Amino acid sequence: MRVSVVIPAYNEEGNIGRLVEETFAEIPQDRLGEVVVVDDCSEDGTRDEVRALLARFDSLRYLRHGARAGQSAALRTGVLAASHPVIATMDGDGQNDPRDIPRLLERLAAPGSEGPALVGGVRTERKATGSKRLASLAANWLRDRVLRDDCPDTGCGIKVYWREPFLRLPFFTSIHRYLPALFLSYGHQVAYLPVNDRPRLAGTSKYSNLGRALIGLYDLFGVSWLRKRTAAPPVAEDSAVPERIADFADASGQAAPRPARNRRN
Ligand SMILES: Nc1nc2c(ncn2[C@@H]2O[C@H](COP(=O)(O)OP(=O)(O)O)[C@@H](O)[C@H]2O)c(=O)[nH]1
Ligand SMILES: [Mg+2]
């Protein structure tokens, strides 16, 4: 099972090149399908830094938005462009550690089989301190009370998941903070594992505590509504293939494509 590593980046000069090199060095060749960097219209040297590496790494891809659209949009662009059925994401600032990816992948079920369709990293020893740490604790507590997704650290950028179910989710800005809750809503299993958290070595954070809190409350209301109003039961019977439905239903609970003899065009 090879993986597409998707890295969203906005103004990550001084971080992104090092992270790409590290990713190629640390993830075994037989697991790493490609690294897709999605540049959200950075104004600094992010573009040059990534493009300078293209000649060295055949499976490095650089995509750039024509206008700034946010972290969730960058992730979606990367997942849409990805060529492999399993996605791993990391923040572009180097705070996530690519060495954690193989471990998360081991916990992930093979697409279509029983087991977690998403494995999220949990930063057990956060490098953030003071107000940022407090804001993150409060946000996680509130989100878990409302959404009941049992996720201790939804803001952690390192996650692995199946590509297909991600693309079937209703897309909105900030979706990257609600993936565990949404995967659960659509009938998937999720799991969490502790991961490394590192200090940001260059540049500054793109989010303010206040901005994140205000938009977070608004999003929480929306996602809570979505979770309550989503019904995605497993398909228990299909008249086209009554005796074989168990073989054809995939782990997402959706009936898999019918055999050719039953297909109507
Ligand atoms: N594509 C895109 N990525 C963003 C944007 N804002 C933040 N990011 C990326 O999201 C990740 C986390 O952002 P960061 O500023 O480090 O947040 P913090 O670690 O919570 O302070 C980094 O990889 C950023 O480059 C944005 O507007 N667009
Ligand atoms: Mg960061």
Q: In the 8-state DSSP scheme, what is residue 137?
A: H
Q: Position 81: which residue type?
A: A
Q: Cα(10)–Cα(87) distance, rounded to whole angstroms?
A: 20
Q: What is the mean pLDDT of residues 253-257?
A: 47
Residue 254, pLDDT above cutoff 70: no
What residues line ligand 1, using a CB cutoff of 6 Å? 8-10, 12, 40, 68, 70-71, 74, 91-93, 95, 157, 205-207
**Ligand 1: nearest atom to the Cα of 93:** 23
Q: Cα(4)–Cα(167) distance, rounded to whole angstroms?
A: 14
Q: Domain 3-228 adopts which CATH fold?
A: Spore Coat Polysaccharide Biosynthesis Protein SpsA; Chain A (3.90.550)
Name the 3-class secondary structure at 12.
coil
Distance 178 CA to ligand 2 centre (A): 17
Q: Whose CA is nearest to atom 2 of ligand 1?
A: 71
Global pTM?
0.87
Q: How many other C-beta atoms lie within 10 A of the C-beta of residue 147?
A: 22
Domain ranges of the chain: 3-228, 237-265
Distance 53 CA to ligand 2 centre (A): 22
Q: How many other C-beta atoms lie within 10 A of the C-beta of residue 2?
A: 16
pLDDT, tens digit (0-9, with 9 covering 90-100), for 19-46: 999 999 999 999 999 999 999 999 999 9
- Whose structure tokens read 């705070």? 95
Q: What is the mean pLDDT of residues 115-135?
A: 87
